[in-house]
Chain A
C-alpha cells in the first residue's frame, strides 16, 4: 500500500503546473542541505576533542548531557518555523477500501524521512564513536545512549507535528505551550529549578543504566500515538469535531469605501484573511516575529555587523508582506476564473493587495519602534527597512506573483493543510532580505552607516513614487499569463 502512496506523491509532484518552480527550489534547498550536513558532521567529529581540551576535568559526555535540553528546544523552535509537515490529499482516498490507519501511519512515518532528522545523527554518531574509542565506557551502554539521543530527536519531530497542528487549529491551545515554555525558561534563568541539570543527571544515569533508554522510547511511542489519534479524529472532509459549522458573521467594512475604487477588493482581502485559517495564521506569525529583535539586539555578538540588522528590520516590518505576498494571487485561486471573467481592472486588484501589505508594513514598523531602547540607529534602520519594503519589496512580490500557478485550497479541511509553512517560504523571501543588506553593507563600507540608511530609504521612496507605474506594468504581466494561471489553479494539489 505504501508503494502506491509514494507513487501518487511522485506523480503529484512531477505533473503539477508549478513543477519548474518546485524543482528550482528543491535544487537550492539541496545546496543548503549539503552545507548543513557538512557543518553538522564537522561539529560531530570535533565535539569530543574540543570538550576534552576545554574542560579537562569533566567527561565530555556529561557536558553534552547537560546541554541536550537546550539543543532539543532550539531544534523544536527551528523545526516549528522551517520543517514542512508531510501532507496528503485524502479526499480521493476516503471512500476507497483503504484503512484510515494505513494512510495516517504513512504520513507519520514519512515525516521520519525529513532531513531535519538526519542532522542530529551526524553529531550523535561521531560523538558516540569517540566516546567508545577514548572514553572508557562499556560499548553497549554508549550504543544505548546514542539510541536514546536519537529517540529524543524523534520525539521533537512528533512534538513539532502536534504543536504545529494546534497552532493551525486554535491559537488558544497553542498559547498553553508558549506559557509552559516561558515558565521553564524562567525557572531555569532564575535558578529555581534547573531543568538542564535535571535532564543532565537523568542522561548521565542513562549512560550507566542502558535499560533506562526504554523511557524515551516509551515517550516516543506515546507521542506517536497522540499524533495518530489526532489525525484519525480529523480524518474527515469537514471539521465537525472541532468547530461546529461556523456561523457567518457579517462585518461592516463600509469604512473601506474611503479608499475609493479598490474598496471592494480590500473588503474581499480582509474577509479572506479573517475567515480562513491559513491566511489568519500569517497575522499571528507577524506578531510573534516582532520579538525577533529582542533576540538579536540583546546579543553583543551582532554589534559590529549592522548589515545584519537590516535583515532583521526587513523581516520584522515585512513578515506579513512576505508571508501573504508570496502567495498572490494564489489566495484567490479557488475563484480566479470568475475574477477573470468579471469586469475587474487588474490594476485595482493588485493595488488593493499592495495597499494591504503597505498597511501591514506601516503597522509593524510602528509596533517595532520601542526597539529605540537599543539605540536610535536601530530605529533608523528599521524605518529605512520599512520604507524599502514599501517601495521595493512589495512591487517585487507582486511581480513574482504573476508567475504563481500553485493553487491554494482555502476550503480544504484543515487536515494537513500546511502549504507554505516550511523552509521554502523563507528561501523565496531570502533575496528580498539579502539584497538590501548587501546595499547597506556596500554603502556603509564605502561611506558610513548613516549614508547607508539614507540610501535604503531613498530606494524605498523612489519605489513608492513609481508605485503607480510599476503596478500598471505588473498588471500587464498578469494579463499575459492569465491562461497559464487559470489552468494551474484548476489543478487540485496537496
Chain B
C-alpha cells in the first residue's frame, strides 16, 4: 500500500530522515517507534506531502504523494492539534470533514454514535468550541475525525499521548478493530513501546532518522524493543 524509495530529508546539512526502502502492505497495522527527534513526525509529514523530500519519494497506493493529490480521498491523518479548527464545535468539525469526504450528516451521526463510549460524554452536545476543550479531548475529536469516510490509510501520530488510561484502552480497541479490517492500513507512531506492540502487527524502530529494527510482532517483541531502547 505504501512504498518508500530512497527517501531522505535534509535540513541545513543535517539528515533527519533516511529510509532506503520500506514497504507497508495493504491491511497491515504498522507501528513506528523511536526517541524524540528520531524522525517519526517527519516521516508522516512526508507521507502527507506537508514537507518536500530531499531525495526519493513515497508511493501511496500507486500514487506518488508529492506529484499527485489523488491519495487524499483515501488517506486520513491526525498529526496534532493544528489539524483541528478551534472556532468550530466538535459536531461542526465532524460535519465539515464529512463534507470534504463526501459523507452526509446521517453517515457522520452514525459514526459518532458508534464511538460515543470513546468520547465519554465530554465531547458531543457540550456547547463548547474545540479551542476550549482540553488537549486530551481535542485529541479524541481528531482521532475519530480520521475515521470519517472509510479511509484506506489511517495515520495517527502519537495517538496515545495526552490521553487518560481509560481512553487509551478504548483507543487500543478502536485501532485493533481497524487493524483487523484487511482493507485498512493503519500507521501509528508512539514513544510507548507497550501500547504499540499491543496494537501493531509490525514495528519499525527509528533512530536518528534511520530504520534500526523492523520486526513482526510476537511474544518476544516487547522485550526485544525494551532491550534496544535500554540505556
Give A residues with C-beta under 8 Å from B: 245-250, 263-264, 267-268, 271-272, 275-276, 334-338, 340-344, 410-411, 482-483, 486-487, 490
User: Once the chains bind, are A248 and B99 in contact (CB under 8 Å)?
Assistant: no
User: Once the chains bind, are B87 and A342 in contact (CB under 8 Å)?
Assistant: no
Rounded to whole Å, the gap between the CB of A127 and the closest CB of chain B is 51
Among the stretches B71-79, B160-168, B209-217, the one at the interface with A is B71-79
What would be 10 A-B contacts, judged by CB atoms less than 8 Å apart?
A246-B129, A264-B96, A338-B84, A341-B72, A341-B77, A342-B72, A343-B72, A344-B72, A410-B86, A482-B49
User: Once the chains bind, are B72 and A335 in contact (CB under 8 Å)?
Assistant: no
Q: Give the complex CA separation of A490 and B51 in angstroms.
A: 12
Contact of A334 with B85 at beta-carbon distance under 8 Å, contacts A340-B49, A343-B72, A486-B51 already known: yes
User: Once the chains bind, are B50 and A343 in contact (CB under 8 Å)?
Assistant: no
The total of chain B residues at the interface (CB under 8 A) is 31
User: Once the chains bind, are B99 and A264 in contact (CB under 8 Å)?
Assistant: yes
Residue of A with least CB distance to B90: A248
Q: Give the complex CA separation of A343 and B131 in angstroms.
A: 23
Q: Give the complex CA separation of A487 and B51 in angstroms.
A: 8
User: Once the chains bind, are B87 and A410 in contact (CB under 8 Å)?
Assistant: yes
Identify which of residues 68-98 in chain B touch chain A, using a CB-to-CB cut-off of 8 Å: 72-73, 75, 77, 79, 82-89, 91-92, 96-97
Interface contacts beyond A271-B87, A272-B87: sample of 17 additional A-B pairs, CB < 8 Å, sorted by A: A245-B128, A246-B129, A247-B127, A247-B128, A248-B129, A264-B100, A267-B96, A276-B87, A334-B85, A335-B83, A338-B84, A340-B48, A341-B77, A342-B100, A342-B101, A411-B86, A483-B50
Q: Give the complex CA separation of A276 and B101 in angstroms.
A: 26
Chain B residues, CB < 8 A from A343: 72-73, 100-101
The answer to whether the Cβ of B52 comes within 8 Å of any Cβ in the partner chain is yes
Q: Give the complex CA separation of A342 and B99 in angstroms.
A: 11
User: Once the chains bind, are A337 and B82 in contact (CB under 8 Å)?
Assistant: yes
The answer to whether the Cβ of B132 comes within 8 Å of any Cβ in the partner chain is yes
User: Once the chains bind, are A337 and B79 in contact (CB under 8 Å)?
Assistant: yes
Identify which of residues 125-146 in chain B touch chain A, using a CB-to-CB cut-off of 8 Å: 126-129, 131-132
Rounded to whole Å, the gap between the CB of A481 and the closest CB of chain B is 11
Q: Give the complex CA separation of A492 and B188 in angstroms.
A: 27
Chain B residues, CB < 8 A from A267: 96
Residue of B with least CB distance to A333: B82
Q: Give the complex CA separation of A490 and B83 in angstroms.
A: 12
Contact of A338 with B100 at beta-carbon distance under 8 Å, contacts A248-B129, A250-B91, A271-B87 already known: no
Chain A residues, CB < 8 A from B97: 342
Contact of A245 with B83 at beta-carbon distance under 8 Å, contacts A337-B50, A340-B49 already known: no
Among A268, A276, A487, max chain B CB count under 10 A is at A268
User: Once the chains bind, are A271 and B88 in contact (CB under 8 Å)?
Assistant: yes
User: Once the chains bind, are B89 and A250 in contact (CB under 8 Å)?
Assistant: yes
User: Once the chains bind, are B96 and A411 in contact (CB under 8 Å)?
Assistant: no
User: Once the chains bind, are A263 and B83 in contact (CB under 8 Å)?
Assistant: no
Contact of A248 with B100 at beta-carbon distance under 8 Å, contacts A335-B84, A486-B51 already known: no
Contact of A271 with B92 at beta-carbon distance under 8 Å, contacts A338-B84, A483-B50, A486-B51 already known: yes
Chain A residues, CB < 8 A from B100: 264, 342-344
Checking B51, B85, B132 against A246 with a beta-carbon cut-off of 8 angstroms, the contacting residue is: B132
Chain B residues, CB < 8 A from A246: 129, 132
Q: Give the complex CA separation of A390 and B206 in angstroms.
A: 52
User: Once the chains bind, are B88 and A263 in contact (CB under 8 Å)?
Assistant: no
Chain A residues, CB < 8 A from B131: 411
Q: Give the complex CA separation of A17 and B165 in angstroms.
A: 40
Q: Give the complex CA separation of A275 and B49 in angstroms.
A: 30
Chain A residues, CB < 8 A from B77: 341
Rounded to whole Å, the gap between the CB of A298 and the closest CB of chain B is 41
